[in-house]
Amino acid sequence: MTLDRGTIVLADDPFKGDGASRPWLVIGTDETPFHAEQHIALTLSTKTWYDERVPIDDDDDIIDGGLPKDSSILPWAVASVDATRIDRELGTLKEPLVDNVVRQLGSYIGLERR
């Protein structure tokens, strides 16, 4: 399954087990190794107590589709999502928001220091 950067998908949540799923934001590009098989993604959450979370505004941030609940992106929560574990696409975020959270992730792993 080939997905574009900025696509929100519903896929298995490896931390909850028993078939639980959650939304993920695909941040990898078509340059990512195994692009159609695995996708670098950030976790989305409905929890609001994380100070560093990046809220998603359905009216301003989503190009098409939507989320069933108010959600935020957790820029520090990165995973490799296997394409076979993706249930469906939920929408696409606008590029400036995706770029912002990727920059935040980069700062967490020291890319600013270069």
Task: Write down the domain spans for the chain.
Answer: 7-113
Question: What is the distance, to the nearest Å, from the Cα of residue 83 to the centroid of all Cα atoms in its chain?
Answer: 14
Radius of gyration of the chain (CA): 13
Share of the chain above pLDDT 90, in %: 72
Residue at 98: amino acid letter: V
Q: What does the alpha-carbon distance between residue 66 and residue 78 come to, in Å, rounded to a whole number?
A: 21
Number of Cα atoms under 13 Å in the Cβ half of residue 7: 18
What is the model's pTM?
A: 0.92
Higher pLDDT, 56 or 14: 56
Q: What is the pLDDT of residue 38?
A: 93
Q: What is the pLDDT of residue 108?
A: 92
Which residue from 7, 5, 2, 10 is spatially nearest to 86, judged by alpha carbons?
10
- Token representation of residue 25: 């934001």
Q: What is the pLDDT of residue 41?
A: 97
Q: How many CB atoms lie within 10 A of CB 81?
A: 22
Mean pLDDT, all residues of the chain: 91
Contact 91, 8 (CB under 8 A): yes
Q: What is the pLDDT of residue 2?
A: 81
What are the tens digits of pLDDT across the range 83-104?
999 999 999 999 999 999 999 9
Q: What is the pLDDT of residue 113?
A: 65
What are the tens digits of pLDDT across the range 38-85?
999 999 999 988 899 999 998 889 998 999 899 999 999 999 999 999
Pairing state of beta strands 54-55 and 72-82?
antiparallel
Q: What is the pLDDT of residue 55?
A: 96
In CATH, which of 3.30.1330.10, 2.30.30.110, 1.10.1740.10, 3.20.20.70 is domain 7-113? Answer: 2.30.30.110
